[in-house]
């Protein structure tokens, strides 16, 4: 009998110790209210699609530096670039599953999780970066981040992808007419797809991780991204023409798994939130310093640059207008109206 009681007490002790240990990234752990948490080291696996030369990765390194310093190493950040952990959609799904903690997708693929994010895919919505900054910081911009919680995601900050410009391997594109028949890769987003069809192109949605090979093999003739991405991902090796279409301003969203975020104590939640915002300011500064410089670099690498005149851009705006009307309800009419109002306010 005595032996049985001893055995019972021992197994009870093992069970209690195991329950307290748990997975260091397990959710709900109520650590003591300090940055160093409950003594368990937590790990953030942070993955992006762009390579380690891009301002987005430089921003992620800044996030890592701040978080590891402020938590005194209680939270470690592992950084992965060039799609090592997958493409935007796959990594966003990994956050929902709790197998990854951070990724920073463009808002276009994010619209597959929260349709309202497609409001930023309305062509020619933002006239410049200053207006984009104001709208993203406004109630409607911040309100969109809150919608991510329903998808088991936390949107901590907006970072910047930037104004998107067209490249292709076939011909100079100066007017809407020149889009005719071009096989253009678009992000996986229906509004992008329909907008390029309205311009006369033959668009194909594709993950960013497959894009370079598709251009190399001629599966697509062209793509659209900011100059920094076009240069730093060496698209000039497989593309001959670039035009300043500036047709869409893409934000990035710094996403964290809600399961992981909820598992942090209050101090740690404030540290990762403030770090995402501070690193975002750093990334946006680097992005803007780089972008115009890279257009010159693209020409030095042999790409032919074609300037889009205001008249030609006006013609493109007219061609995509019906698509914007068609998508208003899919995005959410209230969100579209609020964003247009915020753009008007910011443009005054
Ligand atoms: C990188 C993508 C990229 C985006 C695209 O992961 O897919 O073309 O502009 O920056 O998010």
Q: Which two tokens stand for residue 233?
A: 């991902």
What's the CATH code of the domain at 112? 3.40.190.170
Residue-level pLDDT, tens digit, the chain, 348 residues: 555 555 555 555 544 444 444 344 544 444 445 787 677 899 999 999 999 999 999 999 999 999 999 999 999 999 999 999 999 999 999 999 999 999 999 999 999 999 999 999 999 999 999 999 999 999 999 999 999 999 999 999 999 999 999 999 999 999 999 999 999 999 999 999 999 999 999 999 999 999 999 999 999 999 999 999 999 999 999 999 999 999 999 999 999 999 999 999 999 999 999 999 999 999 999 999 977 799 999 999 999 999 999 999 999 999 999 999 999 999 999 999 999 999 999 998
Domain that holds residue 305: 41-347
Ligand 1 centroid – CA 336 distance (Å): 23
Say how far apart CA 140 and CA 134 lie, in whole Å.
Answer: 10
Distance of CA 118 to the CA centre of its chain: 13
* Number of Cβ atoms within 10 Å of the Cβ of 149: 14
Q: Would you say 106 and 124 are in contact if contact means Cβ atoms under 8 Å apart? A: no
Q: Which two tokens stand for residue 141?
A: 């911009």
Q: Could you tell me if residue 31 is inside a domain?
A: no
Q: Could you tell me if residue 36 is inside a domain?
A: no
pLDDT at site 43: 98
pLDDT at site 130: 97
Q: Would you say 153 and 256 are in contact if contact means Cβ atoms under 8 Å apart? A: yes
pLDDT at site 75: 98
Alpha helices of 44-169 — where are they, by DSSP H?
A: 55-70, 88-97, 107-110, 129-137, 139-146
Q: Could you tell me if residue 210 is inside a domain?
A: yes
Atom in ligand 1 nearest the alpha carbon of residue 229: 10
Ligand 1 centroid – CA 83 distance (Å): 10
The length of the chain in residues reads 348
| Partners of 186 in the β-ladder | 205
Q: Could you tell me if residue 87 is inside a domain?
A: yes
Atom in ligand 1 nearest the alpha carbon of residue 83: 6
pLDDT at site 231: 97
pLDDT at site 88: 97
Q: Could you tell me if residue 14 is inside a domain?
A: no
Atom in ligand 1 nearest the alpha carbon of residue 250: 9
- Interacting residues of 163 by C-beta distance below 8 A, sequence separation 6+: 129, 226, 246, 248, 249, 250, 291
- Interacting residues of 20 by C-beta distance below 8 A, sequence separation 6+: none
Whose CA is closest to 255, among 136, 93, 124?
A: 93
Number of domains in the chain: 1
Ligand 1 centroid – CA 97 distance (Å): 22
Ligand 1 is surrounded, with C-beta below 6 A, by 48-50, 88, 105-106, 161, 187, 208, 225, 229, 250
Ligand 1 centroid – CA 36 distance (Å): 34
Q: Could you tell me if residue 112 is inside a domain?
A: yes
Ligand 1 centroid – CA 257 distance (Å): 20
Q: Could you tell me if residue 22 is inside a domain?
A: no
Looking at ligand 1, which residue's alpha carbon is closest to its atom 1? Answer: 49
Say how far apart CA 139 and CA 91 lie, in whole Å.
Answer: 27
DSSP 233: T
Atom in ligand 1 nearest the alpha carbon of residue 185: 8
pLDDT at site 36: 75
Q: Could you tell me if residue 17 is inside a domain?
A: no
Ligand 1 centroid – CA 49 distance (Å): 7
């Amino acid at each position: 009998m005595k032996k049985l009681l001893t055995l019972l007490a021992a197994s009870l002790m093992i069970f209690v110790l195991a329950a307290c240990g748990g997975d260091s990234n397990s959710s709900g752990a109520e650590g003591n209210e300090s940055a160093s948490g409950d003594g368990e080291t937590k790990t953030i696996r942070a993955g992006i699609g762009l390579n380690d030369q891009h301002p987005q990765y430089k921003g992620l390194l800044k996030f890592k530096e701040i978080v590891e310093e402020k938590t005194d190493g209680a939270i470690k950040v592992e950084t992965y670039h060039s799609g090592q952990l997958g493409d935007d959609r796959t990594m966003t799904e990994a956050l929902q599953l709790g197998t990854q903690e951070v990724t920073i997708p463009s808002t276009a693929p994010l619209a597959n999780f929260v349709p309202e994010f497609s409001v930023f895919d309305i062509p020619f919505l933002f006239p410049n970066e200053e207006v984009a900054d104001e709208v993203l910081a406004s109630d409607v911009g911040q309100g969109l981040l809150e919608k991510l919680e329903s998808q088991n995601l936390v949107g901590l900050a907006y970072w910047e992808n930037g104004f998107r410009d067209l490249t292709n391997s076939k011909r100079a594109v100066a007017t809407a007419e020149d889009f005719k028949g071009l096989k253009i890769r678009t992000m996986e987003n229906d509004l992008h797809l329909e907008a390029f069809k309205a311009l006369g192109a033959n668009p194909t949605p594709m993950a960013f991780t497959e894009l370079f090979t598709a251009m190399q093999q001629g599966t697509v003739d062209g793509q659209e991204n900011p100059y920094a991405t076009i240069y730093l991902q060496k698209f000039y090796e497989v593309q001959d023409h670039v035009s300043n279409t500036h047709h869409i301003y893409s934000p990035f969203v710094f996403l964290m798994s809600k399961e992981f975020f909820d598992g942090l104590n209050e101090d740690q939640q404030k540290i990762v939130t403030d770090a995402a915002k501070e690193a975002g300011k750093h990334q946006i500064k680097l992005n803007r310093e780089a972008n115009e410089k890279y257009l010159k670099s693209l020409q030095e690498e042999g790409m032919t640059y074609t300037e889009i005149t205001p008249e030609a851009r006006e013609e493109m705006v007219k061609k995509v207008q019906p698509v914007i009307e068609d998508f208003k309800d899919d995005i959410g009419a209230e969100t579209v109206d609020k964003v247009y109002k915020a753009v008007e306010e910011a443009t005054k």
